[in-house]
Chains A and B, each alone.
Chain A
Amino acid sequence: MIEVKNLIKTYGKKDNAFNAVDDVSFNIPTGTSVAILGKSGSGKSTLMHIMSGLDKPTSGEILIDGQNILKLKQKDIDKFRSKQMSFIFQSFFVQAKESCYDNVSLPLEIAKISVGKRRKMIEAALAAVDMSEKVKAKAKELSGGQKQRLAVARAIVNSPQILFADEPTGNLDSVTGGMVEDLLFDYSKKNNVTLIIVTHDSDLAKRCEMQIHLKDGKLDTSKGKVV
């Protein structure tokens, strides 16, 4: 369960101050797929950054399973992210010159998983995205869809509890995009993982169980209800 309470993020000072996120509150039950929708500049990316502990809000609380992550030390937030969270980005951010294996290995290394345990986890993750035969291939040799599948493998390899996806299909055509969407929703359902997708693609948003619309940093209640 993720509880967001009265979240405010202010940029600038005094006269120039404006609220990128303006008093936002909602709850996300564990295992739910959620779309955060809004035009560019609506504050949806900022909201995702704050929820994942990458950014600090001006005020408000984020409770994940009852724990306020904003009160944690930087070291503990980092540890929390490496164990519980994962990210998928619009531009993939796979390391072009590294092999698929090494790309997927990165989160495990950060989470201090021993070398012996890694191989099985990496192979399982690559198998889950149907990329087993590409283990040794360099990421730069892959197509866009394969790169995003590789990114999904990297995101799920350490069995996170929360998966953040920032416009995951934004750089893909509809067929490959659909494949990546299927992967994400299937994984979320099977493993009871909370999936938070930031998007302005309404079709993608409709596949989610819950939609959060943002407009100028505020919840836009006219477009749908918030649990």
Chain B
Amino acid sequence: MKITDIIIRAGRSLKQAKARTLLTSLAIGVGAFTIVLSLAVGAGGREYASTIVTSNTNPQELFVQPKMDANNDPKKPQKYTDGPAINYGGYVVKLLSQDDIDKIARIDGVKTVRPMYSTTIKYIVAEGHDKYQASVRVFRDGVRLEYVAGNADGINNDGIIITDNYLEAFGFANAGDAIGKKVQVAVESGLVVSGQVDVKTFDFNIVGVVKSSAFAASPVSGMQISQDNIQAIYDHGTQGTPLFGKYEGALVLANDGQDVKVVKDAINNVGYDAQTAEDLMSFIFQFINVLQAILIGFGILAVLTSVFGIINTQYISVLERTQQIGLMKALGMRRRDVGRLFKLEAAWIGLLGGTIGAGLAVVAGTVANPIVSDALNIGSVRLIIFEPISVGLVIVGLVVISVVSGILPARKAAKLNPIEALRTE
């Protein structure tokens, strides 16, 4: 029998048992739905994560740290190695000195090296208003910002960019009102001057107001000031502490058009530990992948359950159609073709279930997308992205699984003795 004729006959047999076919397909459809949706959420998550990373980092940037001690058995005492370091309750973090910064700056392909400052400010205040907690960081070119008012011009002249969620706290009617106004940042040093903790205030002019971005890592991380200002705050804050003149890391900007990976290797070769923005992204992706794997796991469980459904349905079908099988064999249909007929019926069930499940997943995902984005307040970002190739592969995979499930019943059909099958009473 020709394969096309078998496919047509298989499809026709299923049509004759519509309810049963549909119910069996739906079981596999549940699996298809879960898997397709998990894949879409994973794809969306990765896309979202890479948007976060690109809006917070510059792809030409590298994060450089001192190389940690190789022997890291936490149960044994660690040998002391000379060099700047800070001990956080027994956990030693090595630090970079200005010498290290200069050394890195001399490496080929390095455009700039900037120490990273983990500055701690005491409070931020606008004249005549309450003091608020805040944090400041370095303004960096190449990182996308959404300005509500003003811009970064004048940042190097004691300028500060604030986030719009502080407007009310500072007593500004709107963002435009804030531009040109003064705020003070207070910083505490490690020194004690005439019995008093040494607190110094730094004055800033507001030059820009940015949206507190959905992509920002933390709601208070928004205040941005120039490199020189941050250096001054850091130097003041670390006076009298071992951190003075030392840095936990440095940000290296590679030359435009330079492959960051080459620069990374060059920095690692001189004894530091450099990570590209992409390296830093990888742990986010790993997290998303694990989540996705768990979701897919549930889908696979559903598929596994439906496998037994298919086997059961096909066994019943073989029993019901004993006479038909007997007739076909009497008419000279080969064993192999009888087996194929039942395997192809299973394939149809898989195709139907896979298509129904995947179709529903696409519909549900498309409907849910704006709702999810609204609920998470991430604007127009789509968290569920369907990739036609992966949807197609899921359906093909389910068809294959269905055919495999159909093997046992198909074998039973193929082995059926036509004489027994055609015996009446």
Q: Taking A83-B332, A109-B2, A112-B1 as contacts, is the C-beta distance between A54 and B327 under 8 angstroms?
A: no
Q: How far is the CA of A89 from the CA of B421 in the complex (A)?
A: 12
> What residue in chain A is nearest B424 (Cβ atoms)?
A91
Q: Say whether, besides A98-B12, A109-B5, A112-B2, A54 and B419 are in contact (CB < 8 Å).
A: yes
- The answer to the question of A81 belonging to the interface, with a C-beta cut-off of 8 Å to chain B, is yes
List residues of chain A with CB within 8 A of the CB of B422: 89, 93
> Chain B 332-350, CB within 8 Å of chain A: the 1/0 string?
1111010000000000000
A82 touches B323 (CB 8 A): no
Query: Which residues on the B side are within 8 Å of A95 (C-beta)?
Result: 324
Which chain A positions have C-beta within 8 A of B329? 54, 78
A89 to B328, CA, bound (A): 13
B424 touches A90 (CB 8 A): yes
Residues on the A chain within 8 Å of B16, using CB:
97-98
* Contact among A82, A91, A98, A102 with B332 in the assembled complex (CB-CB below 8 Å): A82
| Complex CA–CA separation, A102 to B424 (angstroms) | 23
Smallest CB-CB separation from B8: which chain A residue? A109
Interface 1/0s, chain B 11-46, versus A by CB < 8 A?
Answer: 010001000000000000000000000000000000
Which residues of B have CB within 8 Å of A91?
424
Q: B373-425: which residues lie under 8 A (CB-CB) from chain A?
A: 418-419, 422, 424
- Is A71 part of the contact surface with B, judged by Cβ < 8 Å? no
A87 near B330 with CB under 8 A, answer: yes
A residues with CB within 8 A of B: 49, 52, 54-55, 74-75, 78-83, 85-87, 89-91, 93, 95, 97-98, 102, 106-107, 109-112
Contact B419 A55 (CB under 8 A): yes
Whether A107 contacts B335 in the complex (CB less than 8 A), given A55-B419, A98-B12, A102-B12, comes out as no
| Residues in A whose Cβ lies below 8 Å from that of B326 | 93
Q: With CB as the reference atom, state the residue of chain A lying closest to B9.
A: A109
Complex Cα gap A79–B324 (Å): 18
Contact count A vs B, C-beta below 8 Å: 61
> B: which residues have CB within 8 A of A?
1-2, 5, 9, 12, 16, 323-324, 326-335, 337, 418-419, 422, 424
Q: How far is the CB of A166 from chain B (nearest CB, A)?
A: 8
Query: What 8 new A-B contacts, CB under 8 Å, besides A79-B332, A82-B333, A87-B330?
Result: A55-B419, A87-B327, A90-B424, A93-B323, A93-B324, A106-B328, A107-B331, A112-B1
Q: Which of A75, A89, A95 has the most B CB atoms < 10 Å from its CB?
A: A95
Determine whether the beta carbon of B331 is less than 8 Å from that of A110: yes
A54 partner residues in chain B, CB cutoff 8 A: 329-330, 418-419
Contact A106 B424 (CB under 8 A): no
State whether A110 and B419 are in contact (beta carbons under 8 Å apart), knowing that A91-B424, A93-B323, A98-B12 are contacts in the complex.
Answer: no
Closest 9 CB pairs between A and B?
A: A82-B332, A81-B332, A109-B5, A97-B16, A78-B332, A110-B333, A93-B327, A107-B331, A91-B424
Inter-chain contacts of A98 with B (CB < 8 A): 12, 16
Across the interface, which residues of B come within 8 angstroms of A90, CB to CB? 424
* B424 near A109: Cβ-Cβ < 8 Å: no
Residue of A nearest to B17 (CB): A97
Residue contacts A-B, CB under 8 angstroms, 14 given: A54-B329, A54-B418, A74-B335, A81-B330, A81-B331, A83-B332, A87-B330, A93-B422, A102-B12, A106-B331, A107-B331, A107-B332, A110-B337, A112-B1
Q: Give the docked Cα–Cα distance between A153 and B424 (Å).
A: 21
Q: How far is the CB of B164 from chain A (nearest CB, A)?
A: 70
Interchain nearest-CB distance for A39 vs B (Å): 16
Chain B hits for A82, CB < 8 A: 331-333
A90 CA / B418 CA spacing, docked (Å): 15
Q: How far, in whole Å, are A16 and B424 apart by their CA atoms in the complex? A: 25
CA distance A93 to B326 in the complex (A): 9
By beta carbon, the residue of chain A nearest B423 is A45
**In the complex, how many angstroms separate the beta carbon of B6 from the nearest chain A beta carbon?**
8
A90 to B425, CA, bound (A): 12
Most-contacted residue by chain B among A90, A109, A111, A112 (CB, 10 A): A109
A107 contacts across to B, CB distance below 8 A: 331-332
Cα A91 to Cα B227 in complex, Å, equals 95
Question: Looking at A80, A81, A83, A90, which has the most chain B CB atoms within 10 Å of its CB?
Answer: A81
Please, which residue of chain B has its CB at the minimum distance from the CB of A105? B5
Determine how close the nearest CB of chain B comes to the CB of A89; give it in whole angstroms: 7
- Shortest beta-carbon distance from A11 to chain B in Å: 12
B2 in contact with A111 (CB, 8 Å): no
